[in-house]
Amino acid sequence: MSCVRSQANQKEESSPCDSLQKQVPNANPTHTTVIDDAHFSSDSKEALEMVCSSMKVHDDFITKEEEISMFEELKPVLQRLIYERDHWDNAIEGYRETERANWSSQNQAIIDRIRSFAFDEGANHINTVHILDLKKNGFIKPHIDSVRFCGDTIAGISLLSTSVMRLVHEDNKNLMVDVLLRQRSLYVMKGMARYKFTHEILKEEESRFKGEIIPRRRRISVICRNSPNDEKTDGYLQS
């Protein structure tokens, strides 16, 4: 089952592009938030601080050979499915999806690496990995992943295509951040970004980052999650 709620109804390490990062003072004078200009763009400094404090993007987390290996394993599974126009909660168009628990030893090692890197030690991982296959003209509408199906951390690998994810604060639409998700990158979303911002994958005709057109192709995302029983909401759901 998909882990989304429609809008309508870390292991942290520096980005590879250290030269493009800036230190921005946080409300806490003893702490600074790293603004990763290579992957995050916004007209709002406040929005950048909120998102960059709780979401990271890591380029080339997998190699080209690992991408091919994962795609070749998923290809026959996805070919048995048809692309759907409407998602059960109206969050996605032009997609097919499945859950996968059993992988080849080579690809299981990749899944294990994602989990070890992105999640807190001792996390209760959901055994199945969510696979979402978007057509070239498919897109994901604004949504917040449902707390019924997902815990406090969501980590996804992008196969076959670069894309732009847009985050918008659910209570203040002026707080908007675009995120560049390059092919083979890993994004890790926690805290504020996970609970208080909707996220979406922009349509092909809207796919731009800092004014530059980002060509969209078919995109497969491989998404790891932890159990809802593992949630550390830090008050986000009560605010």
Say if residue 229's pLDDT is above 80: no
In this prediction, residue 188 carries a pLDDT of: 98
In this prediction, residue 29 carries a pLDDT of: 40
- Written out in words, the top-level CATH class of the domain with range 56-230 is mainly beta
Which amino acid would we find at residue 195? Y
User: HSE-up of 173 (CA within 13 Å, CB side)?
Assistant: 2
CB 159 within 8 A of CB 182: no
Residues 60-115 have pLDDT tens digits of: 999 999 999 999 999 999 999 999 876 555 678 899 999 999 999 999 999 999 99
In this prediction, residue 19 carries a pLDDT of: 32
In this prediction, residue 149 carries a pLDDT of: 81
The model carries a pTM of: 0.83
Query: Could you tell me the two tokens for 84?
Result: 């759907």
Residues 180-212 have pLDDT tens digits of: 999 999 999 999 999 999 999 999 999 999 999
Neighbours of 1 (CB within 10 A): 12
Residues 42-73 have pLDDT tens digits of: 999 999 999 999 999 999 999 999 999 999 99
Say if residue 232's pLDDT is above 70: no
Distance in angstroms (rounded) separating the CA atoms of residues 173 and 152: 23
Residues 6+ apart with CB under 8 A from 130: 2, 3, 97, 99, 221, 222, 223, 224, 225
Distance in angstroms (rounded) separating the CA atoms of residues 143 and 170: 9
CB 85 within 8 A of CB 103: no
